[in-house]
Chains A and B, each alone.
Chain A
Amino acid sequence: MIAHMEFSQQIAQYIVTGLTLGAIYAIVALGFNIIHNATGIVNFAQCEFISLGGMFMYSLVVIFKIKLIISFLISMSMVALIGMVIEIGPIRHARSKEIIVLIFLTIGLSGVLRGTAQEIWGTDNVGVPSFSGDNPIHLPGGATIVPQHIWVFAITVLVVLVLHYFFKKTLMGKAMRATAVNRRAAALAGISVNRMIFLSFAFSGALGAVAGMIIAPISTTSYDTGIMLGLKGFAAAILGGYGNFAGAILGGIILGILESLGAGLISSQYKDAIAFFVLLLVLFLKPTGIMGYGEAERV
């Protein structure tokens, strides 16, 4: 009986941890989706947005002793700015608009960003203080969490609500959705497609930064912490159906819980392998992801 209790407690703990991870993946996946919808590419620089968010936060809070909320906003804006610069510069001026070339351009850019980050901050893992202390909270199911977990959930919900409002209610959001559906038709309707792509990079930068900042107090951060988080975010986006917003959230949560259960019940060394294995299985059974409709085909 006691063993049974302990087991169910463990499971509850894994699920809470998994949900936290999943929330992070979901935010990153949303960033991937926004850029995909505007441009059709996979932006691998997203990984660097996550690292940069965490490292800016570290510098501002720990080194310059600036208030948390202000640091948060400054880091977010700075990474959004980097996103914009990437779009105005290299992405917009690339001679070829072929998808594979642009994808590898983002890989090149991510190298430049990562190398620069390494120059500035070195290769050490650094800690960022939690947003509101580290006193553990006991949940009814038997799981224990620290307040930072609650911050992660709360901020993720807030991000989703803000994005929902933006895309459904504001004119600019509607314009971005129109661009995602059909770029040429959007242009004909008077929407500046370039400006929408520009905005999508800003959004994606901000989202990556948020993900990097809220996870930093839990798992520490470094100049390359975003690579694995970013790839998992990409996996979450694909799992949910690339470009689909509800899918990104669902995909993120499924991937997070899978990883956490895999690490706890099977083996922590194989957790990533398990997560990617399930992802492959899902793709083989449903090639467009859980909620995706597939990419439209032109003949």
Chain B
Amino acid sequence: MSPFLKQKDIICFSILAVTIIAIPLFLESKYHFIVLNVIGLNTIVVVGLNLLIGFAGQISLGHAAFYGLGSYFSGILTVNYGFPLWPAMLLGMLATGIVAYLIGYPSLKLRGHYLVMATLGFGIIIHILMGELEHFTGGHDGLMGIPPLAIGRFIFDNDMNNFYLIWSFVLVSMVTARNLLNSRVGRALRAIHGSEIAANSLGVNAADYKVKVFVLSAMFASVSGSLYAHYITFISPSSYDFYYSIQVVTMVIVGGMGSLWGSLFGAGVLTLISEALHIAKQYHIIAYGIFLCVVLIFLPDGILVGTYNFFQRRRTQKFIVKKDKHKSS
């Protein structure tokens, strides 16, 4: 494997790989596969976004646009122009990367809330274009009949084989991200997060790295979008609105900013909760809001890291209390 993966990483990724292979043996319901596939698709976006938010410290509220660009490039190229499937996906990824570069290069010079606004505005523009460029996108009615992906004669046309396909991509994206983070680039990103000026003065070209990681995270989202389009075979603008952008950033925060495994966890927990809350029907929005508030108020480092820290603190507190009692007695 790569020189940048530590032994611990290799063990963790192996466990994930085995779990992925084993899970379908215990699942029967089509619904469970669908939920797991959605988790996988979200995880790919969240892993990319976490590189940007958690490691480079930049916020994007426009990632639904990149996810959507991937879907629409794949959909339009294959349905309208009869492109072969995998090249369309690759082309979509590259095109999304170029769009991300064009928007990211000027945007990432912006600071704080200005960056939030720029990415938000970009997301809204792309969302409107998806609905209005009817000639290409099928408008608000969406684009139908997107062919499923295939390798040779093998077609990914049901929930179970899509599960293997999507989760292989999850694994690849996580290994890529870990690899990147353990390398010089990862150290540079963390330095930028710590202090951009300090990083600059140590010879890290912060502006350059920020744009690159933005482009990379957009490409992750694009790939996930393409997979979604080929899996569901139907896309419409409503899947790529402002709420999706917010949802994926929420997953990054709830999983833990700057935690790779947290991305998987955050995408998993929030997708599951969102699914579970459908039982609550009209109370869905309220319940989701309350959940988000509780996590952000009490576990701002994310559920994984936050819970760990909480118990760690409890333990040290008990220890201190014991010692104090000991003294006073």
Binding site for B on A (CB under 8 A): 36, 42, 90, 93-96, 98-101, 103-105, 107-116, 118-119, 231, 234-235, 238, 242, 269-270, 272-273, 276-277, 279-280, 283-284, 287-289, 294-295, 297, 299
Contact = CB atoms under 8 A, between A and B. Distances in A.
B286 A288 contact: no
A115 B296 contact: no
Given A95-B298, A96-B301, A100-B59, A276 B289 contact: no
Contact of B289 (A111, A269, A283): A111
Interface stretch (B16-24, B42-50, B114-122): B114-122
B125 to A, nearest CB: 5
B286 A112 contact: yes
A246 B128 CA distance: 30
A104 B113 contact: no
Contacts, number: 132
A115 B289 contact: yes
Given A115-B289, A269-B128, A288 B296 contact: no
B99 interface: no
B114 A283 contact: yes
B110 interface: yes
B113 A269 contact: no
Interface of B: 53, 59, 106-107, 109-114, 116-118, 120-122, 124-125, 128-129, 131-132, 195, 197, 242, 246, 249-250, 253, 257, 282-293, 296-301
Contacts of B249: 104
A108 B249 CA distance: 12
Tell me the interface secondary structure of chain B in the complex: helix
A284 B293 contact: no
A108 B110 contact: no
A41 B214 CA distance: 23
Centre residue among A113, A118, A280 by max chain B CB count within 10 A: A280
B53 A107 contact: no
Nearest to B105: A284
Contact of B53 (A94, A100, A113, A288): A100
Nearest to A297: B197
B297 A93 contact: yes
A107 B246 contact: yes
Contacts of B110: 283, 287
Contact of B292 (A98, A108, A113): A108
B129 A101 contact: no
A235 B113 CA distance: 10
B296 A270 contact: no
Contacts of A272: 124, 128
A1 B109 CA distance: 49
24 contacts: A42-B113, A94-B296, A95-B297, A104-B292, A105-B293, A109-B293, A110-B289, A111-B289, A111-B292, A115-B286, A119-B282, A231-B120, A231-B242, A234-B117, A273-B125, A273-B132, A276-B125, A277-B125, A279-B121, A280-B121, A283-B107, A287-B110, A294-B111, A299-B195
